[in-house]
Structure 1
Amino acid sequence: MYPSSIEFLQHIQAELSYILTYSEGVTYKEFLDHPFLSKAFIRSFEVIGEACKNIPDEVRYNHLEFDWKGFAGMRDKLIHHYWGVDYELMWDAIQQEIRPNKVWIDIIIEQEINKR
């Protein structure tokens, strides 16, 4: 069965949580020196971006505070330009975008569940 919009939102939430948990206390050098981290985070960004593309327009338009387009665009770059991953850009996104978007996705999920 195809996931519901709530399930896609929960996929985003889980991957944002994963990145937050495993990037805590990690330096940029450690991130670069441990390929399992960068590969795991790449996969998380891919899942987040793909899930964003599957969120209904109505939900996205009602919650413009979340960076739907930015995550979808990052997913496209990671999938289609896998040979040239910009690790500095990814690290900046981890440091600056994950936490605030995690806060928003938690709120969005609660609001969407309460609509039912």
Structure 2
Amino acid sequence: MSPSAREYSQHILDKTTNIMTSATSLDKTNFVQDKTLKRAYVRSIEVIGEAVKQLSDGLRQKYNAVE
């Protein structure tokens, strides 16, 4: 059984929350110098993108202004 739109949406929310929470305690210099951290952020963004692709066109169009 494949994940539902709700599960994909929760995954997007979890990853976004994780990025936002960890970014608040991070300064630019440390981020730029830490290759592992940058890779982790990039991977989280990739996961978000893949989850968004799994949502229906109708759902993506309905919430196209989500920031």
TM-score, length-scaled by structure 2: 0.89
Q: Does 1:32 align with 2:32?
A: yes
| Root mean square deviation, CA, Å | 1.1
**Runs of 5+ consecutive residues of structure 1 not aligned to the other structure:** 67-100, 102-116
Give aligned pairs, total: 67
Alignment of 1:1-116 (within 5 A): 1-66=1-66, 101=67
Identical columns (%): 34
1:70-112: CA deviation from partner (whole Å, max 9, x where unpaired)? xxxxxxxxxxxxxxxxxxxxxxxxxxxxxxx3xxxxxxxxxxx
Which has the larger share of helix? 1
**Runs of 5+ consecutive residues of structure 2 not aligned to the other structure:** none
Shift of 1:24: 1.0
Higher relative contact order (CA 8 A, sep 6+): 2
CA distance in 2, matches of 1:20, 1:28: 14
TM-score, length-scaled by structure 1: 0.54
